[in-house]
Amino acid sequence: MTETIRVGLGNRSYPITIGDKAWSGLLPLLEKNPFTSSITVIDERVNALYGERFFGLTDKIDKPSFRFIHPEGEQSKSFSCLESLCRDMARNGMDRESMVFALGGGVVGDLAGLAASVYLRGVRLIQLPTTLLSMVDSSVGGKTGINISEGKNLVGTFYQPEAVFADISVLGTLDGRDWYSGLAEVLKIALALDAGLFEYLESVGDLGPAGDLDVTRTVVAACRQKARIVELDEKEAGLRKALNFGHTLGHGVEASLGYGVLRHGEAVLLGMRAALILSTRMCGLPSDQFQRAINLLDRIPLPDVELPHDLNRFVIKDKKSLGNRITGVFIKEIGKHEFVSLDDPSVLVEALKAE
């Protein structure tokens, strides 16, 4: 069973197909929209697990197809990896009707999306997320990016794919920490935008990888919210900032600890904790709702980390800051976000340290 959600962006609208074996929708779509050649961007781990299954599909298409296999992890979101990928595309003679398949988690999606947006000033792109995090967040909405030592995702573009296929069956091999990291992004969407999703998560007995969560239902709910936001505010002029709930501090934590120490969702959990504390002070989040939010947050495991002393420095460098001001995303009740302009983002760090 698959479900399809449409991201409505005029002539750049696209479907998100979600469900067990969703990849089976790929060939019919490509038959309708033929391409000249393709490159699949994939990391070593996903290649070992799912390469054969995926290339078994694309090999059925009688067009030159190439593979760009890179090391796993955030370090591949770099200028040097982007350069290698674009040079591979050029050496393989890829033209403007070529297709980039981004097969993997957030790292692959961001890197391949950026390459697709800049190579020949834009070639075609299909996102095939293989982690919970990339299914509910990063593969949808067109954000692409790489990291520089000054901050995460500081170099990137907005570039929409022409389809997203979230095949739930591949999540069975997801590492526990990656599962919970994705769940943190689901919780973000629930807290900032969707009280119904929050209540559903609260009702689930075991939130673990092989637990009781109805994954298709959860991914569909998250993607519905994401699609709605992207349709209204593709370039993040306002409303889309709601998806940054927990991220200003989260990105600061990731950058200050060094990329890869914490999973992205783990850092966002810390950011959401701080944002919830400030939500009670600044937006009147009622204490019973605060407690419910914290209770759910506490059900997602988080490794022990010591916060670096210079965390503030990294929080202020978040790309969403304008001058020294940051739009703080808080909630006034579960599922209802509120924006507060912060002239001193250190309040986020202090809220967390004071806990």
Catalytic residue positions?
121, 143, 185, 226, 236, 240, 244, 247, 251, 264
Report the relative pairing of strands 14-19 and 163-167 from DSSP bridges: parallel
Cβ closest to ligand GLY, residue 243 vs residue 269: 243
Cβ closest to ligand GLY, residue 98 vs residue 318: 318
141 touching ligand GLY, by CB under 6 A: yes
> How near is the Cβ of 334 to ligand GLY at its closest, in Å?
19
Cβ closest to ligand GLY, residue 143 vs residue 224: 143
Cβ closest to ligand GLY, residue 115 vs residue 136: 136
What is the DSSP annotation of 116-181? HHHGGG--EEEEEE-SHHIIIIITSS-B--EEETTEEEEE--B---SEEEEEGGGGGG--HHHHHH
CA distance 22 to 165: 6
Name the one residue in this structure whose structure tokens are 């947050």: 297
Rounded to 5°, the CA angle 194-197-199 comes to 110
Q: What H or E segment, with its residue span, contains residue 4?
A: strand 2-7
> How near is the Cβ of 6 to ligand GLY at its closest, in Å?
17
Segment contacting ligand GLY by CB under 6 A, of 134-142, 152-160, 203-211, 252-260: 134-142
Rounded to 5°, the CA angle 282-285-286 comes to 135
124 touching ligand GLY, by CB under 6 A: no
Name which of residues 163 to 222 contact ligand GLY (CB under 6 A): none
> How near is the Cβ of 98 to ligand GLY at its closest, in Å?
25
CA distance 179 to 265: 9
143 touching ligand GLY, by CB under 6 A: yes
Segment contacting ligand GLY by CB under 6 A, of 35-43, 136-144, 159-167, 315-323: 136-144
Cβ closest to ligand GLY, residue 70 vs residue 251: 251
For residues 158 and 144, the answer to whether their CB atoms sit within 8 Å is yes
String of contacts with ligand GLY for each residue 225-254, x by CB under 6 A: ---------------x--x-----------
> How near is the Cβ of 236 to ligand GLY at its closest, in Å?
6
265 touching ligand GLY, by CB under 6 A: no
Sign of torsion over alpha carbons 237, 242, 245, 247: negative
Q: How many CA atoms are closer than 13 Å to the CA of 326, on its beta-carbon side?
A: 24
Name the one residue in this structure whose structure tokens are 């919210």: 225
Segment contacting ligand GLY by CB under 6 A, of 66-74, 87-95, 138-146, 259-267: 138-146
Judged by CB under 6 A, the residue of 110, 137, 178, 318 near ligand GLY is 137
- Type of residue found at 40: T
Cβ closest to ligand GLY, residue 30 vs residue 222: 222
Q: What would the two tokens of residue 198 be?
A: 């929050």
Name the one residue in this structure whose structure tokens are 């504390």: 277
CA distance 62 to 118: 26
Name the one residue in this structure whose structure tokens are 């398949």: 101
* Number of residues this chain uses to bind ligand GLY (CB under 6 A): 6
Name the one residue in this structure whose structure tokens are 């569909």: 220
Q: What H or E segment, with its residue span, contains residue 252?
A: helix 247-257
Segment contacting ligand GLY by CB under 6 A, of 68-76, 86-94, 133-141, 311-319: 133-141
Segment contacting ligand GLY by CB under 6 A, of 65-73, 137-145, 249-257, 300-308: 137-145
> How near is the Cβ of 240 to ligand GLY at its closest, in Å?
5
Q: How many CA atoms are closer than 13 Å to the CA of 118, on its beta-carbon side?
A: 18
User: Other C-beta atoms within 10 Å of 273: how many?
Assistant: 19
Interface residues with ligand GLY (CB under 6 A)?
137-138, 141, 143, 240, 243
